Amino acid sequence: MERIAAFEVLEPGILATIQDSGRFAFSQFGVPPSGASDTFSLRVGNLLVGNREEGAGLEITVMRFKIKALREVVIAITGGDLSPVLNEEPLEMWRTHLLVEGDVIHFKKVRTGCRAYLTVGGEFAVPKIMGSSSTYLSGKFGGFEGRALRRRDVLYAFDIPSPLNKLGLRFPSDWLPLWEKEEVLLKVIPGPQDHHFTEKGFQTFCSSSYRVTPQCDRMGVRLEGPKIERRSDVEESIISEGLVSGAIQVPGDGKPIIILTELVTGGYTKIATVISTDLQKAAQLKPGNHVRFKPVSIEEAHLLLREQEERLREFKENFQKR
Q: Is 144 in the site for other proteins (CB under 8 A)?
A: no
Could you tell me the CA-to-CA distances from 173 to 18, 80, 298 in Å, in that order? 26, 14, 27
Q: Of 276, 280, 284, 289, which one interacts with other proteins (CB under 8 A)? A: 276
Could you tell me the CA-to-CA distances from 158 to 56, 117, 124, 266 in Å, in that order? 11, 18, 7, 38
Least distance CB 78 / other proteins (angstroms):
21
CA dist 322 and 318 (Å) reads: 7
Q: Of 273, 280, 284, 289, which one interacts with other proteins (CB under 8 A)? A: 273
From edge to edge, which strands make up the β-sheet containing 154-158? 89-90, 84-86, 104-107, 65-69, 3-12, 154-158
Q: Of 66, 106, 115, 270, which one interacts with other proteins (CB under 8 A)? A: 270
Least distance CB 238 / other proteins (angstroms):
9
Q: Of 138, 203, 207, 318, which one interacts with other proteins (CB under 8 A)? A: 138
Q: Of 10, 63, 130, 206, which one interacts with other proteins (CB under 8 A)? A: 130
Q: Please, which residue, 101 or 309, has the CB nearer to other proteins?
A: 309
Least distance CB 246 / other proteins (angstroms):
6
Is the Cβ–Cβ distance between 144 and 39 less than 8 Å?
A: no
Q: Please, which residue, 243 or 285, has the CB nearer to other proteins?
A: 243
Q: Of 10, 98, 139, 287, which one interacts with other proteins (CB under 8 A)? A: 139
Binding mask 152-191 for other proteins (x = CB under 8 A): ------------------------------------xx-x
| Residues numbered 290-309 forming contacts with other proteins, rule: CB under 8 A | 298, 301-302, 305-306, 309
Of all helices (H) and strands (E), which one includes residue 272?
Answer: strand 265-274
Q: Please, which residue, 69 or 258, has the CB nearer to other proteins?
A: 258
Residue by residue, DSSP assigns 224-236 as ESSPPPBPTTS-S
Least distance CB 292 / other proteins (angstroms):
18
CA dist 146 and 41 (Å) reads: 22
Q: 298 — alpha (psi -120 to 50), left (phi > 0) or beta?
A: alpha
Q: Is 26 in the site for other proteins (CB under 8 A)?
A: yes
Q: Of 129, 149, 184, 258, which one interacts with other proteins (CB under 8 A)? A: 129
The DSSP call for residue 173 is G
CA angle 78, 84, 87 (to 5 degrees): 130
Alpha helices (runs of H) in the chain, residue ranges in sequence order: 39-48, 199-207, 279-283, 298-320
Q: How long, in residues, is the chain?
A: 322
**Footprint on this chain of other proteins (rule: CB under 8 A):** 24-31, 33, 129-130, 138-142, 188-189, 191-192, 239-244, 246-247, 264-265, 270, 272-276, 298, 301-302, 305-306, 309
